[in-house]
Structure 1
Amino acid sequence: MLENRREKIRIKLLEGMNENEHYHRDIELLFVIRGNIKIDLSGEILYLYEGQFFIFNSMQKHIIETLEESNVMRVYIEYELVRDIIGDDNFLFENHYKFENASYIAVKSAINELLYYYVEANSSKVDFAYLSHCYNILEKLTLFLNQDNSSLNHIENNNRTHEIKNYIELNYNQPISLQSLADYLFLSPTYLSKYFKKEFGLNFKQYITNYRLDKAYQEVIYTKKSLANIAFEVGFPNKQSFLKAFEETYGKNPKEFRDKRTSIEQGVETFFDDKDKEIIENYLKNEESKQNKQLIINCSASKVDKLDVLSQIMINIGEAESLLNSRLQKQLLLMMQEFGVKNVRIWNIFTQGMLVTNVDGELIYNFSKINAVFDFLVEHNFFPHIELGERNKIISKRIGETIKIDIGKNNPSSQALSKLLNVFLKHVVKRYGLSTIEKWRFELCIGDSNFKNNYLIEDYIECFSMIHKVCKNYSDKILLGGPGYSEYYHVDEKIWKLWKNKDTKPDFISLCSYNYIVDKNNTELGNTIRDKNRKRVFEDVVALKAVLEKFDMETIPIWVTEWNLTISDRNFINDSCFKGCYILENVFMNDVSVLSYHYLSDLNSEYYDSGNFIFGGLGLIANENIIKPSGYAYSFLNQLYDYCLAKGDDYIVTTDLNDNYAIICHNKQEFSDLYYATDEDKLDISEIPSYFEDTDKTLNIVISDISTGVYKIKTRSISPNKGNLINIWKQLSFYQDLSQNDIEFIRINSAPDLNIVNVESVNNKVSLVRELQANEFILIRMKRL
């Protein structure tokens, strides 16, 4: 009957799933339409993102938790249906899958077909078409069946297991017990209990209860027998115990299930509600946009706004001591020349490596190394942004696995730090002049300091006030900010409550942002996951603005003094073309006063395991002074003009008001599911394209109201075919012992591609059309001849 078939595969769209540990006889599939969820399989943690699914086997314990706003499609598949189709009691779906393999894509396509049917038919009625799509999903799911039953851990195919199952099948409606089963098998109850738990994943009582409930469920749904008779027929001692067990397992009592069934038979059953339609349509639009991208830019040269992109850009350099390294100094000069960046952020100026030491609570210092660092910066017109707290030097492979390098920290008290800063400022004012020091910025961060815990926030505010007084005693133009806010440091609103009532407020609020989500129920940094949200920095800024507004501090500017996609210094994505697109998108998207990339050079993360010229470091410049694609993103930004015609997340159009135009566009791809399923330090450099979607983009640019004439169009591009540092090394078979000639070959070929054509304006318009490859970014400069 059609009614019976409806119940064999049941579908519902749910919002905000949070379920304690449970299990059920039926097979369950979860498919994320929006957001992401966390799954706990008896301690094994898995995260599902939009467009991903997971299969729960019969009687498999699991916990489900929503980490952010999510919509999840739940599919229940009757256990007996699968068993009857495949003809095997011992079936098991594979839970360890590869997101990009053919079986996974086949199931996802079948699910999408059902969703398209719902949207296009504009009907959620359960009909034959719906059932056809459901059975299509089930057919594709059989690709995930484990074919090697001998390898199963908890349902081993042996004689004893079959004997147990046969005994329960024949006697479940009788008052059987672990003792009676043990007697039947000539085993001790203690041994049998352990064996049962190991092989079935449940104890005997749990298994027999669920077996009986599964039989009872069919009777409740499809017959009109009294509940007391059903309880007796499936082996429960009385009606009360049956009702209690049924509600604990299914969440409703049997009468509610039966009443629902009656209403379905009298009316028209639906598998989605009307409110679900918009959510599903948005998901399908996202799926379609991945297949067909177009970027259409229409702008007028007569409508411009002042652009000040470069003034907001700052780059993190690292420990002050590293600036004594001539190799890093060369890279800073290369940065100045190619990127035009003058604002540099450094830290750890008062460590033992910089000849500042703590002896019996008394700070002893020799400023000779500090002089060498700041002499270099001042001589070459850099403006230092100095983080005053002490930071650990850490090389991160991935979340939870780091290499710590001792830099000789002093951990000075607030009084000692303010005293030392006073001596330092007095020294540098005398050495370089007050007008120079007034262009410097200072920051006191709460994250990697003695003020990390919430109960020490008062100490941080006190220390900040003391340092603030020292700085302002020299000049009100010297800026001091903090606290380097980040959700990873778990600073609650207490800090803003205290600061609100202080006279010594920061000149800027500093923020750190990386693409990770913290598990709110487990606040250890190691319990974070990579975030798919491409607007992480932007949304962190918006969220912080809302907090500041709540405490009447919204007029204080927010400076993002540290940001990146990842913290990993061994992630080859850092060496890819994608990273250039990622940087451009974040610069276009964010309008904060300062945006400071972390960081300039791969030299900062050199270690015993970093012998190659690229090794997944966070830097914009690799060893041998080779500019990465990420570095060329800053080089392109340096060639923009001062006035903006149009801007979006993936483009910007600028002019100098003298018939010169500069345009940057990118085709940043989203990560594939395979990327999130692979540890950051385990990415295969030879297979980098597989970690991204692969969608070309058609770029159409029309600039109107421009002067009549011929324009020279000069286009520079970094793409998978040109300027792709990883591909260039791949051409050399990833050979490690490179000669100087090899290095020079890499340097030349990692530069952007160049194309020059002349285009004549028509009706005071210039139209440009170009195809952008996946993760390609381009700079177009137009000059009227």
Structure 2
Amino acid sequence: MIEFEFRVDKSENMHTHLDIELFYVMEGRVDFIVEDQTFLLESEDFLMVNSGRRHAYEGSQETLAACFHISYDELSKLLKQNLILFWCNSTAEEGELYEEVRELIKKIISQHYYHAGEDMIYLYSLYYELLHMLQNNFLLTEEDSRYKGELHKFDDRKQKIAEYIRQNYDKPIALSDLAKDLYLSTAYLSKYIKKQFGMSFLEYVNSVRLGYAISELLHSDKPVVRIAMDTGFANSASFNKAFKEKYHTTPSVYRSQWKNDQESAIKAPRIQNIQKKQVDAYFERHKNYPAGQVYVQDITLENTEGEPYRHHWQMMINGGTAADLLRSDLQEHLCLLHRCLKIRYVRFWDLYSREMLLDHCLPSGLYNFSRLDLILDFLLEHGMKPYIELGMKPKKLLKSRQSVLIGGGDSDGIFADENRVREFMSALMHHLVERYGGSEIENWYFELWQKELESNFFHKEVPDSEALIRKYFSTFDLVAGVLREILPGVRLGSGGFSLRHGKERFREMIHIWHEFLQKPDFMTFYSYSYPAEMETADKIRSQSMDKDFLKNFLKDIRELMDAEGYIGLPVHVTEWNFTVSNRNVFNDSCQKGAYVMKNIIDTIGMADVLGYWCASDIFAEYYDTGDFLFGGSGLLTKDGICKPAYYAMEFMDRIGQRIYQRGENYLITGDDKDEWYVVCHNYKHFNFQYGLRQEDEIHVAEQSQLIVDGRKLRLKFSFPLPFGAGKYSGQEDVPVEIKIYAVNSRTASIQDRWLRAGFPRFLHPEDMAYFKSASVPAIRVRSHRVLEDRITFETILEPNEIQWIRVKVGQYYQGSQTGQKTT
């Protein structure tokens, strides 16, 4: 099925073959040519070449590569497809999917290098794992726009030629017969094949025949003469000649060497011809290879200075529309989040809905602020502060990326004219100052929504975009001027920018803002994990393959803001999530908890406010939400039960006040006490198939098929003594207690408990009480001892598990045996 070889040749001429090729650069740089395109591959880059594509490469002096040839015929039988096309090119796109393939390729290379000829079952299992990964994430389907693009490159005539030879390779094939079948002259067809395939008709036929013959040669006991006849060669002499031209030896010698080495399609003597220094250096860099189904990370803490832990995620949560906040059940949920997670601000919008009784079209002095006062009074009485959206941001409830449950109206703006803006904003600010006092209001946040740009969320082209931008900035000038005239210290921010139309468009937009008088006190942004420059709404739009989407988003906007002179201006992410859907089962899952923890850790110090979307599933209730769980994006279910995403935030709250080290999967904190705190996760991003699905159509049981892999993660920690435990330095037999709280599919996952219960739609009060009490983190406590002033322990995380760990010196857990490690 798969043949593997190391490549040390600095170049390879243009050629084609039936096999699908995966080319991986271990060291050096390679200009890889596929048809008329050239890709620069550097260390650890790779790409796939589809069957029949002409390709060549030119490498640097130190080039070292690995090449996999996948049998098209065998794969076609396995997949039951006649036409197989892949799109896999790490130079054109990146993401965790590519990192997973990269790690698996390294594992295969390692197996070949260190264990050639040993444990062939394990090697074959790796090959099939690679095939599964490629099929699941990079095999093109007819729904994918790239499928047609690849199909177009392999034009209809070329495809018919390849298919004809594949179907008739074991029979005598004449160029004249093929020409007749295609209604072409023999002379024209001969030139066409030479140009398109890079070889003559006979050479191409023989290359296809050899592809089938080599499989027979290695995996059957047929005589060479029989193999020659079965694969279409006229006699053994012609077979031997063609074979020797390609493999530089005879079929009999090739088979004998292969059987003696017992190494599939890779032979150990070939490795000896490679510059061993290059290979040794390569494996030295990758000595911490993942083994089997568990990734291993060794984490040694040496940093003793640390930096302050800024709780940017606690600054604000999205509560819902103003009318939603009048509901007592949502108020209870917000109080819980404030009390347990220390959420400071609650964001709400849609002040002008019918339920709020606030008619902005009335004459000045007749506005009814009573229901707005109820909301503000509630927040302030319970220790929270308001984050108010002043624009006419409506309630919008999405079932999927293309299906809207509640659309939010078609208003062109807040008011009919500038006088209405001035009158209403002046009345509002005077009312707030009189009722709550200017010093109090200066601690609130106000935001002005940019409706015109928001309406084009899913569109690549924005008509009259500059005119719309100028209209928004003009409105901001007016509103900011009125508010600041009444209360100079009021804090007003821009309304929800993004990079969904590309970085250059955002830079052009904030550049235009320099022409206007009033500037924001902070900039606000929306971040949902969809690629920039999306296709129009009637096309399929993939989820971003970038697992670091939010971190990279914040990095990009800060660089763009600094470049345009907005240096140091606070950044508020007022909405962030991986999905806009409130009918996505992943919202209720452990994967969401790992996603939340990962992104909070990743973005510490990158934003002043990180406002999660959203607080409670109550916001997403509609006619179709009769089920106990329905895929809402809240931290809490509509019945107030905590989801894994909630526990991710609770864990982030229960750690030390100084950060001493952080990595891809962990954060280590502490203070001046005798404790270290660790939060860690094993987040698994979505695979390619997820992006092709309608988010609301995914079933709970399908989730494991839509993430990159199911590997566990083992973290091996080594800590010095905490700062407050200095009295134990140099002592022997110092006790240590290691306490771990864990959220995984077996504990604290309300979705998994509901799944195991059989998805009951209606729950009695006692059932609800059971689910609430059972959906809490598991706790494990172990005792350990300090060895040479170092604390070492390890923990294992399931896919999408999150953990909170406290390491306390000078204390034993009496229920555990001394010296037992955490596992």
Please report the TM-score for the alignment, with normalisation by the length of structure 2: 0.65
C-alpha distance in 2 between matches for 1:603 and 1:676: 27
Contact persistence 1:345–1:386 (CA under 8 A)? yes
Q: Aligned letter for 1:684?
A: H
C-alpha distance in 2 between matches for 1:518 and 1:652: 30
Matched with 2:582 is 569
C-alpha distance in 1 between matches for 2:673 and 2:198: 82
Contact persistence 2:396–2:407 (CA under 8 A)? yes
Residue 312 of structure 1: CA displacement? 5.3
The question of 1:751 aligning with 2:776 is answered yes
* Alignment counterpart, residue 608 of structure 2, candidates 586, 593, 597: 593
C-alpha offsets along residues 321-377 of structure 1, whole Å, 9 cap, x if unaligned?
A: 111112211111111122110212111113344234466999984323222222222
CA shift in 2, pair 1:636/1:448, >3 Å: farther
**1:167-566 matched pairs, under 5 angstroms:** 172=176, 217-218=200-201, 291-299=294-302, 303-309=305-311, 313-357=315-359, 365-406=367-408, 411-413=413-415, 415=418, 416-446=420-450, 453=462, 454-455=465-466, 456-489=468-501, 491-519=505-533, 522=535, 528-566=541-579
Secondary structure in 2 matching 1:636: helix
* Alignment counterpart, residue 661 of structure 2, candidates 633, 638, 646: 646
Residue 515 of structure 1: CA displacement? 1.8
Q: Aligned letter for 2:659?
A: C
C-alpha distance in 1 between matches for 2:129 and 2:342: 58
Unaligned runs of 5+ in 1: 1-7, 14-23, 35-49, 62-71, 98-106, 123-132, 145-153, 182-204, 224-261
Secondary structure in 1 matching 2:575: strand
Residue 600 of structure 1: CA displacement? 0.7
C-alpha distance in 1 between matches for 2:108 and 2:313: 51
Cα RMSD, aligned residues only = 5.5
Matched with 1:192 is none
Secondary structure in 1 matching 2:496: strand
Secondary structure in 2 matching 1:623: coil
CA shift in 2, pair 1:297/1:111, >3 Å: closer
Residue 618 of structure 1: CA displacement? 0.8
Contact persistence 1:352–1:407 (CA under 8 A)? no
Q: Aligned letter for 2:475?
A: C
* Alignment counterpart, residue 623 of structure 2, candidates 600, 608, 633: 608
**1:108-119 matched pairs, under 5 angstroms:** 116=110
Q: Aligned letter for 1:669?
A: K
Matched with 2:231 is none
Q: Aligned letter for 1:725?
A: I
Residue 648 of structure 1: CA displacement? 3.5
Q: Aligned letter for 1:404?
A: I
CA shift in 2, pair 1:721/1:178, >3 Å: closer
Residue 278 of structure 1: CA displacement? 10
Residue 735 of structure 1: CA displacement? 1.8
The question of 1:621 aligning with 2:636 is answered yes
Contact persistence 1:172–1:212 (CA under 8 A)? no
C-alpha distance in 2 between matches for 1:766 and 1:113: 31
Q: Aligned letter for 1:402?
A: V
* Alignment counterpart, residue 682 of structure 1, candidates 694, 697, 712: 697
Secondary structure in 2 matching 1:688: helix
Residue 528 of structure 1: CA displacement? 3.2
The question of 1:696 aligning with 2:700 is answered no
CA shift in 2, pair 1:754/1:695, >3 Å: closer
Residue 632 of structure 1: CA displacement? 1.2
Matched with 1:4 is none
CA shift in 2, pair 1:28/1:206, >3 Å: farther
Aligned length: 649
C-alpha distance in 2 between matches for 1:119 and 1:605: 55
Secondary structure in 2 matching 1:726: helix
C-alpha distance in 2 between matches for 1:9 and 1:773: 32
CA shift in 2, pair 1:293/1:565, >3 Å: farther
C-alpha distance in 2 between matches for 1:33 and 1:318: 50
CA shift in 2, pair 1:29/1:605, >3 Å: farther
C-alpha offsets along residues 666-717 of structure 1, whole Å, 9 cap, x if unaligned?
A: 2323445554564432333134344342313234252424424766654322
C-alpha offsets along residues 110-146 of structure 1, whole Å, 9 cap, x if unaligned?
A: 9767755898799xxxxxxxxxx99x989998999xx
Secondary structure in 2 matching 1:622: coil
C-alpha distance in 2 between matches for 1:760 and 1:284: 29
Q: Aligned letter for 2:571?
A: I
Contact persistence 1:399–1:525 (CA under 8 A)? no
C-alpha offsets along residues 30-86 of structure 1, whole Å, 9 cap, x if unaligned?
A: 68999xxxxxxxxxxxxxxx9999885669x9xxxxxxxxxx99988898xx59x99
Please report the TM-score for the alignment, with normalisation by the length of structure 1: 0.68
C-alpha distance in 2 between matches for 1:462 and 1:86: 61
CA shift in 2, pair 1:450/1:540, >3 Å: closer
Contact persistence 1:728–1:746 (CA under 8 A)? yes
CA shift in 2, pair 1:342/1:96, >3 Å: same
Secondary structure in 2 matching 1:627: coil
C-alpha offsets along residues 288-307 of structure 1, whole Å, 9 cap, x if unaligned?
A: 6974222524256x634332
Higher strand share: 1
CA shift in 2, pair 1:651/1:575, >3 Å: same
Contact persistence 1:572–1:685 (CA under 8 A)? yes
Secondary structure in 2 matching 1:487: coil
Secondary structure in 1 matching 2:645: helix
Secondary structure in 2 matching 1:612: coil
CA shift in 2, pair 1:505/1:722, >3 Å: same
Contact persistence 1:9–1:78 (CA under 8 A)? no
Secondary structure in 2 matching 1:568: coil
C-alpha distance in 1 between matches for 2:680 and 2:750: 20
Contact persistence 1:411–1:450 (CA under 8 A)? no
Contact persistence 1:26–1:77 (CA under 8 A)? no
C-alpha offsets along residues 573-601 of structure 1, whole Å, 9 cap, x if unaligned?
A: 21112222221221121111111111111
Secondary structure in 1 matching 2:301: strand
Secondary structure in 2 matching 1:702: strand
CA shift in 2, pair 1:512/1:741, >3 Å: same
C-alpha distance in 2 between matches for 1:360 and 1:713: 64
Matched with 2:82 is 92
* Alignment counterpart, residue 739 of structure 1, candidates 748, 757, 764: 764
CA shift in 2, pair 1:116/1:333, >3 Å: same
Secondary structure in 1 matching 2:391: coil
C-alpha distance in 2 between matches for 1:285 and 1:646: 20
Matched with 2:751 is 726
**1:26-65 matched pairs, under 5 angstroms:** 26=18, 28=20
C-alpha distance in 1 between matches for 2:498 and 2:103: 39
C-alpha distance in 1 between matches for 2:411 and 2:536: 26
Q: Aligned letter for 2:295?
A: N
Q: Aligned letter for 2:521?
A: D
Matched with 2:647 is 632
